[in-house]
Structure 1
Amino acid sequence: MDWFYWGIIIILFIISFIGLVYPVIPSVLFILGGYILYGLFFSFKDFSWLFWSVQILFVILLFGADYLANMIGIKKYGGTKAGIWGSTIGMIAGPFVIPVAGIIIGPFIGAVLGELIVNKTSFKQSLKIGLGSLIGFISSVFTKGIIQAVMIIYFFFQVS
């Protein structure tokens, strides 16, 4: 039966990585769900206060990385809060409007439209801001992937 429990835990971890490219999936909740299921299926004794402290720090880093990468990418190319909000909305709505490609196109279009509509930014400048949003999104996915991998590796070190 242990293999079945481990299978469920590993599936939750895999879903967390899918959440990197589909922001509608709350990655961190699936990772934490894996930890909690491990505790319920096996034991919580492997999780010290240090383990939980480190994991909480990583969760904070995950949220910070997402916001900061997007903001820095947009600000670097002259964008404003309208571009940041547009990019965020595009990131969430994109995969539903244009399956698969929407995750890349959504933040770009959202930032461009946000700047065009709210700030009346020139089309050329809005495209640059959209590019900054795309760069920010990709760097965010990369950074969050590393953080999530470290969280899961640390978990396996704790329970082995």
Structure 2
Amino acid sequence: MITLAWSLVILLFVVGMVGAVYPVLPGVLAIYAAFFLYGWLVSFEPFGWVFWTTQTLIVIIIMVADYAVSAMGVKKFGGSKAAVIGSTIGLIIGPFVIPAFGLIIGPFLGAVIGEIIIGTKWQKAISAGIGSVIGFFASSAVKIVLQLAMIALFFIWVF
């Protein structure tokens, strides 16, 4: 049972880390679920209120930062709310339409199209698209660091 538990926990950690850059995977929630899975299959004993409070705060920070950092990238490059919405839609749809490069092209095109729809000039729309890509990479970096911290804290508490 221990081997199965650890295999599933590690699988959820991998899904979580891949989800840090691939938005259709649950990301941080997979990592959070791994903690519960470990508790149910092995033991909740190592985890106290400090562990759960810390991990829950990190989950909330990641969820808020994911949107906020991406939006800041778009806005920093002159994008409007339409570009933020467009880049978010592009980020979700892009990987399905263009599997290899959809994570980059999707948000870029989404932001550009969002700006064009509201009548923005091409130069500013392209700038917003570039901001969306930079925001995506910055958001992914933040998620990766914080999710690795969650996993590290798990191992510290367990061992």
Do both share a fold (TM > 0.5)?
A: yes
Conserved? CA contact 2:16–2:27, under 8 Å: yes
Residue 10 (structure 1) shift: 0.3
Quote the Cα distance in structure 2 between the aligned partners of 1:71 and 1:101: 20
Normalising by the residue count of structure 2, what TM-score does the alignment of the two structures yield?
A: 0.97
Instruction: Look up the match of 2:120.
Output: 121
Instruction: Look up the match of 1:105.
Output: 105
Instruction: Look up the match of 2:69.
Output: 69
Residue 7 (structure 1) shift: 1.1
What are the Cα deviations for residues 15-69 of structure 1, in whole angstroms up to 9, with x where unaligned? 0011122101111221121101100111111110110100111011101221111
**2:65 partner amino acid:** A
SS of 1:22's equivalent?
coil
**2:130 partner amino acid:** L
| CA RMSD, 1 decimal | 0.9
Conserved? CA contact 2:20–2:28, under 8 Å: no
**1:79 partner amino acid:** G
Residue 3 (structure 1) shift: 2.2
Instruction: Look up the match of 1:83.
Output: 83
Instruction: Look up the match of 1:143.
Output: 142
Instruction: Look up the match of 2:131.
Output: 132
Unaligned residue ranges in structure 2 (runs of 5+): none
What are the Cα deviations for residues 120-153 of structure 1, in whole angstroms up to 9, with x where unaligned? 1011110000000100000000110000000010
SS of 1:21's equivalent?
coil
Q: Runs in 1 of length 4+ with deviation above 3 angstroms?
A: none
Residue 5 (structure 1) shift: 1.6
Quote the Cα distance in structure 1 between the aligned partners of 2:10 and 2:102: 27
Quote the Cα distance in structure 2 between the aligned partners of 1:4 and 1:101: 35
Residue 72 (structure 1) shift: 0.9
Quote the Cα distance in structure 2 between the aligned partners of 1:65 and 1:16: 16
Quote the Cα distance in structure 1 between the aligned partners of 2:21 and 2:29: 15
Conserved? CA contact 2:111–2:128, under 8 Å: yes
What are the Cα deviations for residues 82-133 of structure 1, in whole angstroms up to 9, with x where unaligned? 000000000000000000210111111000000101x210111100000001
Report sequence identity in percent.
48
Unaligned residue ranges in structure 1 (runs of 5+): none
Aligned residues: 159
